Amino acid sequence: MDYLKKYEEWTTNQYFDGATRAELVALKDNDNEIKERFYMDLEFGTAGLRGILGAGVNRMNLYTVRRATQGLANTIIKAGGEKRGVAIAYDSRRMSPEFALDSALCLAANGIHAYLFESLRPTPELSFAVREFGCIAGIVITASHNPAEYNGYKVYWEDGAQVTYPKDVEIIQEVNSISDFASAKFMSKEDALAQGLLTMIGEEVDEKYIATLKKLVLNPLTEEGKKLKIVYTPLHGTGNLPARRILKELGFENVYVVPEQELPDTEFSTVGYPNPENPKVFALAEKLANEVGADLILATDPDADRLGIMVRNEKGEFVLFNGNMSGALIAEYEFSQKAEKGILPTNAALIKTIVTGNMSDVIAKHYNAKLIEVLTGFKYIGEQIKLFEQTGSNEYIFGYEESYGCLVGTHARDKDAIVAVMCLCEAAAYYKSKGISLYDQMNMMYEKYGYFKEDLLAVTLSGIEGMAKIKEIMAGYRSNPPKTIGDYTVEKFRDYKEDTMKDMTSGTVVSTGLPKSDVLYFDLNDNAWCAIRPSGTEPKIKVYFGVKGSSSADADEKLKKLMSDDVFKMN
């Protein structure tokens, strides 16, 4: 069925509600918009759904969400997991409560017990709840840090991590097999409650989640540490209550929340693009921090699974730490303190993604820990935790990715900004009691491990043409990889989609050892590297860069020069 036939079906079929049909009828003279909405189904990929809100098969709406949920229900039924149920959480975005409730009612209509949070909650708490209730699966309605016009639908499996192979493929196949949107089962909330197929959850899970996090504390606050001044912004998202609660219960007395960004806001009106990687989202927090004389600024994204930080430098100015820096700070604190206390296991493991900086490798080596590298996506870190439990091979200490996601503990199997807030503030307070700031500690780590610096370029390519362009760009680098990038020589070329790692000198080709993924990686001489991949959550292509310098200034200069090379000019 071509896009115009699909469009006509949606405008005339009485299954679709009147508002949906009216929205589409109003587009009758806009062929380009009709094509964008109907040329393909919104893809249910390995991370679930994510897309622009609106009517149509290529948009996030009640009908695409019900179709996805019916596919998940079919998978659960085939696995015999109806009685175990599914936990469901949602964030502060447009339509998040409605999508969450519809998902629950579709599951209930399939005889599957749904545990629905009564109000918005962080994504990591959903991961925690899946295992707490012994559910077979979980759903989070969120588009993470995307702009306000987006929403998304993420699926978790029984281990509390986002679905991985082969379960992700099974669910995708079930979703794709549903051609008739009206075939998705549905029942009323009243009937679901009456039949015991819907349970509302909330405070009892909060209590257990917070209590579990507090068990991870390594150093209780000293009187000096309590003086730490913290400015926090939830960026209109889900982090406000749990982040403030954990800090208060640990004893932090000087926590200031940005008032303009404290409450949920579906439009993210003070930031637009609520991504803690973007320095612009810190403007109001920095203003408040200077007014109160804060030591540290924290920002969590809307579903509170990622944490961005700013710290004061030697001049007293606030500087933004990237995810490699904040992740390395927490890793060093966790490993060093456990080693000092004699509680670091001999089979300790540190996990990072393939586009995360290389200081992690040296930290792991220093503490005789195993360094494991996985594909981009925190679900692969969660998968390793599951394997550790199954085999006893290693004990998980810490895992992180460059995009501000990390996890201390195994209470969740996804990145957790609430535990990151707790651990980072604990570390800051500990170092403060020693007369050291986080900025000082970062510089001490550079001296100890090497001046590793990283950065990222992201190019937005939206719509049908953008998708085609991204595929064309990746195909070009794949078929004709550069032999040099800037002043560096490409020593090895990894193509994770083809599962090949080629030695550019000898021509020898071996397996990458990881599942297939559309990522190209260039190992360069002198500890430098580059990688390129399409974003899994936004219409972007991303290029990652990493170098190692002899000093901070040398690393900065090398990074700047590498990033300015024409090899990755795509506009």
Say yes or no: 202 and 231 in one domain. Answer: no
Q: Is 144 a catalytic residue?
A: yes
Say yes or no: 455 and 430 in one domain. Answer: no
Say yes or no: 249 and 376 in one domain. Answer: yes
Average pLDDT, the chain: 95
Q: What is the pLDDT of residues 28-68, one digit of tens each?
A: 999 999 999 999 999 887 678 999 999 999 999 999 999 99
Rounded CA gap, 561 and 571, in Å?
Answer: 19
Give me the sheet containing 229-233, strands edge to edge: 254-257, 229-233, 296-300, 307-312, 318-321
DSSP one-letter code for 258: -
Beta strands 405-408 and 86-90 are: unpaired
Q: Tell me if 220 is assigned to some domain.
A: no
Q: Tell me if 215 is assigned to some domain.
A: no
Say yes or no: 156 and 246 in one domain. Answer: no
Say yes or no: 390 and 249 in one domain. Answer: yes
Residue where a domain stops, chosen among 416, 449, 482? 449
Say yes or no: 55 and 29 in one domain. Answer: no
Q: Tell me if 159 is assigned to some domain.
A: yes
Domain at 520, CATH number: 3.30.310
DSSP one-letter code for 343: -
Whether 257 and 240 have beta carbons less than 8 Å apart is answered as: yes
DSSP one-letter code for 60: B
Say yes or no: 175 and 61 in one domain. Answer: yes
Say yes or no: 343 and 374 in one domain. Answer: yes
Whether 47 and 140 have beta carbons less than 8 Å apart is answered as: no
The gap from C-alpha 59 to its chain's centroid, in whole angstroms, comes to 21
Its domain, for residue 115, covers: 40-209
Rounded CA gap, 386 and 347, in Å?
Answer: 15
Whether 27 and 33 have beta carbons less than 8 Å apart is answered as: yes
The torsion defined by the Cα of 482, 483, 489 and 495, in degrees rounded to 10, comes to 60
Say yes or no: 523 and 414 in one domain. Answer: no
Q: Tell me if 321 is assigned to some domain.
A: yes
Amino acid at 316: G
Q: Tell me if 221 is assigned to some domain.
A: no
Name the packing angle between helices 359-366 and 438-449 (round to 10°): 80
Domain at 247, CATH number: 3.40.120.10
Q: Tell me if 462 is assigned to some domain.
A: yes
Say yes or no: 269 and 397 in one domain. Answer: yes
Say yes or no: 96 and 245 in one domain. Answer: no
Say yes or no: 378 and 245 in one domain. Answer: yes
* pLDDT of res. 571: 59
Residue where a domain stops, chosen among 434, 449, 464? 449
When divided into structural domains, the chain yields a total of: 4
Among candidate residues 144, 360, 403, 517, the one labeled active-site is: 144
Residue where a domain stops, chosen among 398, 427, 449? 449
Q: What is the pLDDT of residues 539-564, one digit of tens each?
A: 889 999 999 999 999 999 999 999 99
Whether 548 and 358 have beta carbons less than 8 Å apart is answered as: yes
**Tens-digit pLDDT string for the chain (571 aa):** 689 999 999 999 999 999 999 999 999 999 999 999 999 999 887 678 999 999 999 999 999 999 999 999 999 999 999 999 999 999 999 999 999 999 999 999 999 999 999 999 999 999 999 999 999 999 999 999 899 999 999 999 999 999 998 999 999 999 999 999 999 999 999 999 999 999 999 999 999 999 999 999 999 999 988 999 999 999 999 999 999 999 999 999 999 999 999 999 999 999 988 999 999 999 999 999 999 999 999 999 999 999 999 999 999 999 999 999 999 999 999 999 999 999 999 999 999 999 999 999 999 999 999 999 999 999 999 999 999 999 999 999 999 999 999 999 999 999 999 999 999 999 999 999 999 999 999 999 999 999 999 999 999 988 888 889 999 999 999 999 999 999 999 999 999 999 999 999 999 999 999 999 999 999 999 999 999 999 877 788 999 999 999 999 999 999 999 999 888 877 5
pTM value is 0.95
Q: Tell me if 129 is assigned to some domain.
A: yes
Whether 284 and 164 have beta carbons less than 8 Å apart is answered as: no
Q: Tell me if 62 is assigned to some domain.
A: yes
Whether 393 and 387 have beta carbons less than 8 Å apart is answered as: yes
Dump strand ranges (E) for 3-149: 49-52, 86-90, 114-117, 137-141
List the one residue out of 157, 46, 52 whose CA is nearest residue 95.
Answer: 52
* CA distances for 222 relative to 217, 243, 255, 423, 431, angstroms: 13, 20, 16, 15, 11
Q: What is the CA radius of gyration of the chain?
A: 24
CB within 8 Å of 16: residues ≥ 6 apart:
10, 55, 63, 181
